[in-house]
Chains A and B, each alone.
Chain A
């Protein structure tokens, strides 16, 4: 089956394309990119005339999500998670291993992949645990995890417990060219903290987590990556001091990459005090930090020090969040809010242009995880995200397709949204209000 997408603006940084181009898909592959491709090329298939302003991009990949299955299906399942993903414009997600049981063996990896095949929406790339049971004691069977389909390892939710284990993980994974994804947080400095350590937490009487708790672990792992030649990827970077450590590492040629979440470049800890004091939907880990940190994340996105925007999609049930602030779990959902936030606050705000956004959300995640996609070059997988940069979007938690509704963006309005999501040549999500041709999915 052939599909011809006509009339869009096509952005494919890997091919150096940023202009008015048509895209021909044949089956599950990209067949051709060109100006004014004739409709006859799609003989027997679909010709989709895109509305004005739509942008065709290689499929977005969220390399940091929690799908909660197995073990916490009341928060999310693989099926609801990938539905949320394609609704948010993501053609693929990489899911964290802190499930119950932990994804530290091939059995759990295979279960996740089986559920993903059944759901048949976004591609799912499991990430395995660094240590058995994420206990920080001994390496998990990383070669077996890789064989089963894991694309990286992490003890996310926790940092790798000791420097020696981080060293071994970086050495061991270097054999396979896999990244070690690190949740950077010195546990002794974090203590029982629940919010960024600063004036806001001090006035609200909340126990603090200082920014340097993140930078200290990042610094440790960047030095170990330098020593071992391994690849460390810094997850959900939030503190300006961490960004400094990443920049220094990159300038010395260390194999370090870093991701930032939309909430860390749009929100600060002021959200803990107002408009809803002690809002548990403003509680995540790493915590919302100060303006200096937020601005640093923007700077890193603009100057190239940041490689990836990932959501850290962390669904939690309403009941779990409807408690005292210090008892609520950390985390917010992110898959369905990321594209509107990025289009509005980064591209529309004039901070970056679309090709840079595509690098952050497609090219670089594909390169770091060594997974298909990240380009629309002929022969590539036909994973496509079609953006509607002029679409007005109001976030409504009740309309989210994730099983959980824990977002601090409820009621926020953004300009920019998703027109369609195409995975392996199939249109798995489309929004008729966006200018996507109706009745064609």
Chain B
């Protein structure tokens, strides 16, 4: 296991990003998630921890995996959950995010899980709301629970994170998953490599303590973990590379390229995957893939986050 000891509790009310977490707090969340994973193996997958608390899932962007995962996590903790999706909300009538948030806040939820297309939207909400804010993805900024579930999956398979070579491939410019993962993995002492076309590498990435390369072979060489990022097809109108075909031939993860990795390498992807664009089907479905483990672990990690932000084990008895 890693040298870092777990913290006793989270120091912040919200989970806005990995940037705000100490290594000890990250380990606390991962350790807590192990206990939560056990709940998921029971016949009755429910504990009363968040009974009587209301959690609002406020999603301004389409999401299947993350929203479902949060909802299952909330229900397993016995929270009252409410999903607000953009299509059915008053946002389409021109209401601002602040007004929407203040209206939801007026109904006194305990927590708000926010997915939004603008970087920093969670920070804006956190300044307004008494409810705890959990970032479920804000623009190009962070997606902290994804990085936590990735770390959980790596730790489950490898027993540690410190000292591993983790190579991340794809759209390094727009990916919030990348930002959260870089912060988390470097905090826990992994050797992180990132690789993508030069047009999709933001300036100053190397200053975040990672190795940056445009050569796939160099990044894959000896990797313990290979993490593929989704190429967001809708972003590719910006002309960042000539064609999806050329992207696959130059940067796609194939069995041949993977031979340079360690023999016990694991393949990760936050989903949804684009087969034949960033990853060959043989790799996505192959023996090294832990992509579906990531999805399963997502529920346990989100249960841990909800539990810890709710104040841990404190028991609320109704008089």
Task: Evaluate contact between B203 and A278: CB separation under 8 angstroms.
Answer: no
Whole-angstrom distance between the Cβ of B262 and the nearest chain A Cβ: 30
* Choice from A191, A197, A206, A278 contacting B124 with Cβ under 8 Å: A278
CA distance A205 to B116 in the complex (A): 13
Contact of B202 with A323 in the complex, beta carbons under 8 Å: no
Complex alpha-carbon distance, A203 and B98, angstroms: 24
Rounded to whole angstroms, the CA-CA distance of A418 and B202 in the bound complex is 44
Assess whether A326 is interfacial by the CB under 8 Å rule. yes
User: What residues on A are CB-neighbors of B238 within 8 Å?
Assistant: 191
**A277: which of B96, B120, B204 is its contact (CB, 8 Å)?**
B120
Query: Which listed residue, B98, B123, B204, B207, touches A278 by the CB 8 Å rule?
Result: B123
User: A205-B176, A324-B118, A324-B120 given as contacts; is B204 within 8 A of A198 (CB)?
Assistant: yes
Residues 115 to 160 of chain B near chain A (Cβ within 8 Å): 116, 118-121, 123-124, 127, 138-142
Flag if A205 contacts B140 (CB, 8 Å): yes
For B202, give its contact among A208, A322, A324 (CB under 8 Å): A208
B318 — which chain A residues lie within 8 A by C-beta? none
Identify the closest chain B residue to A324 (Cβ).
Answer: B118
B23-61, CB < 8 A from A: none
- CB nearest to A320 among chain B residues: B96
Which residues on A sit within 8 Å (CB–CB) of B85?
none
* Bound complex: CA A207 to CA B124 (Å): 18
- CA of A207 to CA of B203, assembled, Å: 11
Shortest distance from the beta carbon of A410 to any chain B beta carbon, whole Å: 15
Q: Is A325 an interface residue when CB atoms closer than 8 A count as contact?
A: yes
A204 contacts B141, C-beta separation under 8 Å: yes
Closest A residue to B16 using CB positions: A277
Contact indicator B138/A205 (Cβ below 8 Å):
yes
Residue from A197, A204, A319, A325 in contact with B203 in the complex, judged by beta carbons closer than 8 Å: A197
Question: Could you mark each residue 175-198 of chain A with 1 if its beta carbon is under 8 Å from any beta carbon of chain B, else 0?
Answer: 000000000000000010000011
Asked whether any CB of chain A lies closer than 8 Å to the CB of B190, the reply is no
B280 at the interface (CB under 8 A from A): no
State the CA gap A205–B72 with chains docked (Å). Answer: 29
Chain A residues whose CB sits within 8 angstroms of the CB of B123 once the complex forms: 277-278
Query: B98, B139, B142: which contacts A322 (Cβ < 8 A)?
Result: B98
A198 in contact with B124 (CB, 8 Å): no
Across-interface contacts of A327 in B (CB, < 8 A)? 118
- Distance from A69 Cβ to chain B, minimum over Cβ atoms (Å): 25
Contact A205–B179 (Cβ < 8 Å): yes
Q: Are A203 and B119 in contact (CB under 8 A)?
A: no
Tell me the complex Cα distance, A277–B207, Å.
20
A277 (CB) vs chain B CBs: closest residue = B123
* Residue B107 CB within 8 A of the other chain: no
Residues of B within 8 Å of A205, CB to CB, are 119-120, 138-142, 176, 179
The answer, yes or no, to whether B310 is at the interface (CB within 8 Å) is: no
- CB pair B203–A324 under 8 Å, yes or no, is no
**Residues of chain A contacted by B84 (CB below 8 angstroms):** none
Cα-based distance from A4 to B127 in the complex (angstroms): 53
Whether A206 lies near B119 (C-beta < 8 A) is yes
How many angstroms between the C-alpha atoms of A355 and B295 in the bound complex? 67
B205 interface contact, C-beta 8 A:
yes
With both beta carbons as reference points, the residue of chain A lying nearest to B204 in the complex is identified as A199
- In the assembled complex, B97 has its CB within 8 A of some CB on chain A: yes
Interface centre among B119, B121, B179, B202 (most CB of A within 10 A): B119
Q: In the assembly, what is the distance between CA of A207 and CA of B174, in Å?
A: 9
Which B185-210 residues sit within 8 Å CB-CB of chain A?
202-205, 207-208
What string of 1s and 0s marks CB contacts (under 8 Å) between A357-375 and chain B?
0000000000000000000
What 1/0 flags go to A242-279 for Cβ under 8 Å of B?
Answer: 00000000000000000000000000000000001110
Residue in chain B with minimal CB distance to A322: B98
Residues on B with beta carbons closer than 8 Å to the beta carbon of A438 = none
Q: Flag if B98 contacts A206 (CB, 8 Å).
A: no
| Contact code string A322-338 (vs B, CB < 8 Å = 1, else 0) | 11111100000000000
B19, B97, B127, B139 — most chain A CB neighbours (10 Å): B139
With a cutoff of 8 Å between Cβ atoms, the chain B residues found around residue A207 in the complex are: 140
Chain B nearest CB from A354 CB (Å) reads 39
Q: B235-248 CB contact bits vs A (8 Å, 1 = yes)?
A: 00010000000000
Q: Which of A202, A319, A324 has the most CB of B within 10 A?
A: A324
Separation of A319 and B141 alpha carbons in the complex (Å):
24
Are B139 and A199 touching (Cβ within 8 A)?
no
Q: In the complex, are the beta carbons of B204 and A202 less than 8 A apart?
A: yes
In the complex, A205 Cα to B202 Cα: how many Å?
10
Interchain CB contact under 8 A, A323 and B98: yes
Q: A206-B140, A207-B140, A278-B124 are in contact. Are A325 and B119 (CB under 8 A)?
A: yes
> How far is it, in angstroms, between the C-alpha of A276 and the C-alpha of B97 when the chains are bound?
18
Give min CB distance, A348 to chain B, whole Å.
33
A326 touches B203 (CB 8 A): no
Chain B residues with CB under 8 Å of A326's CB are: 118-119, 139
Inter-subunit contact B120/A325 (CB<8 Å): yes
Q: How far is the CB of B53 from chain A (nearest CB, A)?
A: 27
- Residues in B with CB closer than 8 Å to A322 are 96, 98
Are B98 and A204 touching (Cβ within 8 A)?
no
Q: Which residue of B lies closest to A195 (CB)?
A: B119
Complex CA distance for A184 and B152, rounded to whole angstroms: 48
Residues of the A chain whose Cβ atoms lie less than 8 Å from the Cβ of B203: 197-199, 202, 208
Could you mark each residue 271-296 of chain A with 1 if its beta carbon is under 8 Å from any beta carbon of chain B, else 0?
00000111000000000000000000
Min CB distance, B185 to chain A, in Å? 15
**Residues in chain B near residue A206, CB distance under 8 A:** 119-120, 140-141
B19, closest chain A residue (CB): A203
How far apart are the CA atoms of A46 and B111 in the complex, in Å?
Answer: 66
B20 vs chain A, min Cβ distance (A): 10
Q: In the assembled complex, which residues on chain B have CB atoms less than 8 Å from the CB atom of A278?
A: 119-120, 123-124
18 residue pairs of the A-B complex, CB under 8 angstroms, read A198-B203, A199-B203, A199-B208, A201-B202, A202-B203, A203-B204, A205-B120, A205-B138, A205-B139, A205-B140, A205-B176, A206-B119, A206-B120, A208-B202, A208-B203, A278-B123, A324-B116, A325-B119
Complex A-B, nearest 6 residue pairs according to Cβ-Cβ distance, in ascending order: A199-B204, A278-B120, A205-B141, A205-B140, A324-B118, A202-B202
A residues touching B (Cβ–Cβ < 8 Å)?
A: 191, 197-208, 276-278, 319, 322-327
Interface residues of chain B, those whose CB is within 8 Å of chain A, are 19, 96-98, 116, 118-121, 123-124, 127, 138-142, 176, 179, 202-205, 207-208, 238
A324-B97, A324-B120, A325-B119 known, 8 other contacts, Cβ within 8 Å: A198-B203, A202-B202, A202-B203, A203-B204, A204-B119, A205-B138, A322-B96, A324-B118
